[in-house]
C-alpha cells in the first residue's frame, strides 16, 4: 500500500542528482576558462608555422641560413690536381706550394710520388694524373716519341746539375786505367753524362754528338774507362762498385749527397737545356688550373725556397 509514495521519492532523487550534475559542470567551466585564456595569446606564435606562409618565413629570415651558401661556393671553387713527382726536389717543391700558396690560388695538390722516370709519364697517359713534374725537355721529347704519348712542357722550373761522385777517389785525376764509370742508361741522360765526362777531359766525343751522344760516339778514351749504363735510380747504389758514377741531381739529394759540395764535377747552370718542367698531355696545357700551378711554380716565393733550401744543388730556371 506504500507504492504510490515510492515513485515520487525516486523521481525527486533523480531530479536532485541531475541538478547536482549540472551544477558540477557549471562550476568546472570557470576554472577551465582562465587556462584557455592564458594560452590564447601564445597560441598564434606556436601554431603559425603550420600555415605555408608562416612555415617558410623563419627559414628565409634566419641568419644561419643566409650565411650557409658561402662555404659551399668556396669549396666548389677549389680545384684538385693530381701531380706525379719523384720525391726530391720535385715533391718537396710541390709540398711547399701546397702548404703555403695553393689554397689562396684555389688549388689543392694531390702529390703522387714515383721512384723512377718511366711510371710518371705512363700514369699521365693513363689518366691517373693531371700533370707530372720530374723530367727535362730532352727526356720528355724522347719518351713521347718512343711511347707515342703526346707530352708537352708547360713551364721550366729548375735545373738539377748532373754530377760526378765517388767513394773511391777524391779527384778525377786519381782515376786509374780501366776504372769503371757508371752513367744513366736512358738516351738523353746518357748523352748528358758523356758530355760531362768529355767536358772534364776524361774522353772525347764525336763532333756534333750533343745530348744524344752514345758510347758509340766516343772517339778517344785515354784511360780506357769502362762505361756501365744503369737505370738512373740505381746510380747512387753503384758508388760502392764503381770508381765514379754520374748521378742525376734528384737521386743524389735523395741519398744525402749535396751536389754543390760533394760532386767532383758538376754541370753548369748557365745555358743549361735540362731544366725540369711541369708536363701535361697535349690539349691540357691551357687548362686554367694547370696554368695556375705553372704560375705558382714560377713565383718569387718558389724561387726563394729553391735558393735557400738547396743552396746551389738545385738552381731556379726562371
Whether 261 is in a domain gets the answer yes
pLDDT value of residue 268:
83
Is residue 145 in a domain?
Answer: yes
Cα–Cα dist 164/196, whole Å? 8
The answer to whether residues 155 and 278 belong to one domain is: yes
Q: Domain containing 122 — which CATH number?
A: 3.40.190.10
Residues 82, 156, single domain; the answer is: yes
Query: What pLDDT sits at residue 38?
Result: 36
Residues 190, 237 share a domain: yes
Shortest CA distance to 166 belongs to which of 179, 185, 157, 184? 179
* Structural domain contains residue 19: no
Q: Are 141 and 169 contained in the same domain?
A: no
Domain of 253, in residue numbers: 163-266
Asked, for residue 293, whether it belongs to a domain, the answer is: yes
Same domain, 178 and 224: yes
Nine-digit cell string for 303: 724561387
State if pTM tops 0.85.
no
Q: Note the pLDDT of residue 75.
A: 55
In a domain, 57, yes or no: no
Task: Examine the fold and report which residue of 266, 285, 301 is the final residue of a domain before the chain moves on.
Answer: 266
User: Does 223 lie in the same domain as 86?
Assistant: no
Q: Do 168 and 261 belong together in one domain?
A: yes
203 shares its domain with 151: no
**Gap between the terminal Cα atoms of the chain:** 134
* Domain membership flag for residue 150: yes
Q: Is 143 within the bounds of a domain?
A: yes
Do 152 and 279 reside in the same domain of the chain? yes
What pLDDT, on a 0 to 100 scale, did the predictor assign at position 210?
A: 86
284 and 156 in a common domain: yes
Strand ranges (DSSP E) for the chain? 79-85, 107-113, 131-136, 151-159, 163-165, 180-184, 204-205, 218-220, 226-230, 244-247, 265-266, 276-281, 315-316
Q: What pLDDT, on the 0 to 100 scale, is given for residue 51?
A: 36
- Distance between CA atoms of 1 and 138, rounded to whole angstroms? 138
pLDDT of residue 76: 60
- Cα(25)–Cα(4) distance, integer angstroms: 33
- Return the beta strands (E) in 147-236 as ranges: 151-159, 163-165, 180-184, 204-205, 218-220, 226-230
Tens digits of pLDDT across the chain (318 residues)? 434 444 443 333 433 433 344 444 333 333 333 333 333 333 334 343 333 333 333 333 333 333 333 333 355 689 999 999 999 999 999 999 999 999 999 999 999 999 999 999 999 999 999 999 999 999 999 999 999 999 999 999 999 999 999 999 999 999 999 999 999 999 889 999 999 999 999 999 999 998 889 999 999 999 999 999 999 999 999 999 999 999 999 999 999 999 999 999 999 877 788 999 999 999 999 999 999 999 999 999 999 999 999 999 999 999
Task: Note whether 98 and 228 are same-domain residues.
Answer: no
Domain count along the chain: 2
Indicate whether 153 belongs to any domain. yes
Listed residues 242, 266, 290: the one ending a domain: 266
Question: Which of 243, 266, 289 is where one domain is finished?
Answer: 266
Q: Is 181 in the same domain as 256?
A: yes
Strand partners, 205: 218
Amino acid at each position: 500500500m506504500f507504492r504510490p509514495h515510492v515513485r515520487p521519492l525516486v523521481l525527486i532523487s533523480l531530479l536532485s542528482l541531475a541538478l547536482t550534475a549540472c551544477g558540477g559542470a557549471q562550476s568546472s567551466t570557470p576554472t577551465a576558462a582562465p587556462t584557455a585564456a592564458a594560452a590564447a595569446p601564445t597560441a598564434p606564435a606556436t601554431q603559425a608555422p603550420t600555415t605555408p606562409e608562416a612555415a617558410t618565413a623563419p627559414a628565409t629570415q634566419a641568419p644561419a641560413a643566409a650565411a650557409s651558401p658561402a662555404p659551399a661556393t668556396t669549396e666548389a671553387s677549389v680545384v684538385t690536381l693530381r701531380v706525379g713527382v719523384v720525391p726530391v726536389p720535385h715533391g718537396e717543391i710541390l709540398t711547399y706550394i701546397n702548404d703555403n700558396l695553393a689554397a689562396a690560388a684555389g688549388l689543392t695538390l694531390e702529390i703522387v710520388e714515383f721512384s723512377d722516370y718511366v711510371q710518371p709519364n705512363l700514369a699521365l697517359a693513363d689518366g691517373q694524373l693531371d700533370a707530372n713534374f720530374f723530367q727535362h725537355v730532352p727526356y720528355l721529347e724522347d719518351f713521347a716519341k718512343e711511347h707515342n704519348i703526346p707530352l708537352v712542357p708547360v713551364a721550366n722550373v729548375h735545373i738539377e746539375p748532373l754530377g760526378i761522385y765517388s767513394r773511391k777517389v777524391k779527384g778525377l785525376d786519381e782515376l786509374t786505367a780501366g776504372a769503371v764509370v757508371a752513367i744513366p742508361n736512358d738516351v738523353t741522360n746518357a748523352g748528358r753524362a758523356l758530355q760531362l765526362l768529355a767536358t772534364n777531359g776524361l774522353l772525347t766525343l764525336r763532333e756534333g754528338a750533343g745530348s744524344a751522344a752514345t758510347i758509340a760516339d766516343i772517339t778517344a778514351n785515354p784511360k780506357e774507362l769502362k762505361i756501365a749504363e744503369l737505370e738512373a735510380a740505381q746510380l747512387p747504389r753503384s758508388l760502392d762498385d764503381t770508381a765514379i758514377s754520374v748521378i742525376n741531381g734528384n737521386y743524389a739529394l735523395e741519398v744525402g749527397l749535396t751536389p754543390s759540395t760533394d760532386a767532383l764535377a758538376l754541370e753548369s747552370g748557365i745555358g743549361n737545356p735540362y731544366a725540369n718542367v711541369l708536363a701535361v698531355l697535349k690539349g691540357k696545357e691551357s687548362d686554367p688550373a694547370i696554368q695556375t700551378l705553372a704560375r705558382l711554380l714560377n713565383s718569387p716565393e718558389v724561387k726563394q725556397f729553391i735558393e735557400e733550401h738547396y743552396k746551389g744543388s738545385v738552381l731556379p730556371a726562371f
